[in-house]
Structure 1
Amino acid sequence: MADVPGAGRSFPYVSFLRVYEPLDAFSDAQQLAILEQRTRERRVTEQLDRADALQRITRLVSDPFPHHAQDLVRVLHFPRSNGTTAPFYCPNQLAVRTFLAAESLEQTIRGPLLDVLLPEVAREAHQARLDPETLTESTAKLHTRSATWGVPFAWFVLIHEDDLTEVIDDDGEVHTVRVSVTISECIDRARRAVANLAIAAPELDLLEELTEITEWLETFRRDAVVELDYGPVADLVFPDESPMDVRMGIECLAETDMTGAAAAYRRLASRWVPIRQLARAS
């Protein structure tokens, strides 16, 4: 399939945490949509997603919401213990995610600027396009989380450096790095970290973030797969030792080794603070 026009343009650094489930985890209607897209290459899906985002933000009339386009589905082929691979699926749920993002933006931005970014007529039209029952179900079970200008440290708790890793690069430029692992392992890792932090550092925001992520993961089937998609920020940090640094930092806190914990944090800060400062750069 030919490349999608406009899909190669660069975007701000956005990373994703996705949950993929087997086909029978979805409703009949969702399965039909998945089956229509299951043979499409991941590269093409990402191109379509970027092209659609570009089209929405460059409309003559400000309206960043999706209209009636078919929701994209990502496919992940994950190895099983018997040596074969099985397909897992992650619906983009773009309509619901943009609805929730708009609600969040309304809480942080007021006045004329909000109307410029999200005109009231566009917000009302988008809400009218959403089916209330589908909205409730999708909101309760979002398959995708996103973060701008860096990967949240809590996400690194879920993955280890020896998990299945795919590097997407071209001519020496890393376009993204995707790390995938079973959801059961992610939940176990998160629970151990929560237990350690609850005793050693209950005041840390990381504890609250991990608790919330664990509850989110537990809404999915235990045979699901989790994928951390670095996005274009991977080109600035890969190869990345952040998962090891986060794990060592938590272990040091549990052992009351403040020197080791501080060293792990300094390594993380030196890697990620400069990237997060880009969000405030002019």
Structure 2
Amino acid sequence: MPTVTRRPPYQAQLRVYEPVAHLAPEQRRRWTQYAVDAPSATEVEAELYAESVRRLAGRPPAPVPAAESRHGLVIEQDGELYVCPMQPRLQVWQRLGGPDEDGDLLPGEAAVPVALREQAAADLAAFTRAGGEVRLFSRTAAWHVPVSWFVPFAGEERRLTVDPEPSLRYRTAMSSARRRAAVGLRAAREGLGDVDVVDEIEQVARWLEEFDSRSLVELDYGGLAHLLDAAHLSSDDSASDVADGLAALAEGDATSAAAAYRRWTTRWQRVRLLSRAC
């Protein structure tokens, strides 16, 4: 793999890592062999980002990768190997050809012509009929981290590093993520009613159910961590804010719930402003 270091500067990811030992035999062999000399997460993400820039800067632009990536992110925890396959082509197919709104598109994709979106939808349908893997192992957000993404995590699972590069992430067991998502969804539905954030939490909860119960779930600020100063990163405890707000809703304490949401909103409004400056 070429030596590249630049990651997507505005993207955060919510990922699922499945245990390699419990995959189908062919996939288990593939990822076990891959892990022997696997590139780092930074190298993988930087290569895919550089490739996407080349495609979108071409004449004409090519929004969809010609082939799926062979790379994945692999981690070892407690002696067990886990993998999150990289799926840039599937991600683009689902963003362009699926039912998502334009707000879920990444920069450069909103201007994709209708004909290319229709082709993406047709390609995705054909891939699905052929039995291809259509579960997305990672979700991507630009210029922010959706409030629903914090629901599966606890504040004490936050991990901040600043050397050799800034990084902020949460990681938890799938069982814990599902339990928190279910409890949070119930509190949000009872306390807020029919609002967008309740639908978003439900989408995350349903997505988590698609994977092996022994998986790991990770929220990675990714390139966003490079845009934020040390003081912001050190004070960012968004998962605790969201958990406090949901707990207050469950107890019928609207005042405390509003205060927690206001803390979260104030923090992320500042980050959103960066999208207008870049």
How high is the TM-score relative to the length of structure 1? 0.80
Between the aligned partners of 1:122 and 1:193, the Cα distance in structure 2 is 34
Q: CA contact under 8 A between 1:19 and 1:225: conserved in structure 2?
A: yes
**Are 1:64 and 2:59 matched, yes or no?**
no
Residues 1:208 and 2:208 are matched in the alignment: no
Q: CA shift at 1:181, angstroms?
A: 0.7
Q: 2:263 aligns with which of 264, 267, 270?
A: 267
2:68–2:87 contact (8 Å) kept in structure 1? no
What is the alpha-carbon distance in structure 2 between the residues aligned to residue 274 and residue 115 of structure 1? 23
CA separation in 2, counterparts of 1:120 and 1:27? 37
Is the contact made by 2:97 and 2:117 (CA closer than 8 Å) also made in structure 1? no
Partner of 1:101: 95
Matching of residue 196 in structure 1 with residue 196 in structure 2: no
Question: Amino acid of the residue matched to residue 158 of structure 1?
Answer: P
User: What are the ranges of 5 or more consecutive residues in structure 2 without an aligned counterpart?
Assistant: none
Counterpart secondary structure, 1:19: strand
CA distance in 1, matches of 2:141, 2:130: 22
Deviation of 1:263 (Å) = 1.4
Q: Is the 8 A contact 1:18 1:145 kept in 2?
A: yes
Letter in 1 for 2:19: P
Deviations 1:106-160 (A, max 9, x none): 9649xxx989635846974996699624775422x22111111100111111111
Identify which range, 195-204 or 222-231, moves more after superposition: 195-204
* Aligned position for 2:18: 21
1:54 to partner: Cα distance? 2.5
Q: Point out where structure 1 has 5 or more consecutive residues left out of the alignment.
A: 80-84
Letter in 1 for 2:16: V
- SS state of the match for residue 162, structure 1? helix
Q: Alignment partner of 1:222: what SS?
A: coil
How far 1:223 sits from its partner (Å)?
A: 0.3
Supply the AA of the counterpart residue of 1:216.
W
Distance 2:218 2:102 in 1: 29
Give the TM-score taking structure 2 as reference length.
0.81
Identity of aligned residues (%): 27
- For the residues of structure 1 that align with 2:109 and 2:52, how far apart are their CA atoms? 19
Native 8 Å contact 2:14 2:139 kept in 1: yes
Distance 1:135 1:18 in 2: 25
Distance (whole Å) between structure 2 residues aligned to residue 106 and residue 206 of structure 1: 15
- Letter of the structure 1 residue corresponding to residue 182 of structure 2: R
Corresponding residue for residue 223 of structure 2: 232
Instruction: State the superposition RMSD in angstroms.
Output: 3.2
Q: CA deviation at 1:56?
A: 2.1
Task: Render the CA deviation track for 1:13-53: whole Å, top value 9, x for unaligned.
Answer: 11111101012443444334423421313332223222222
Q: Residues of 2 paired with 1:168 and 1:22: CA distance? A: 28
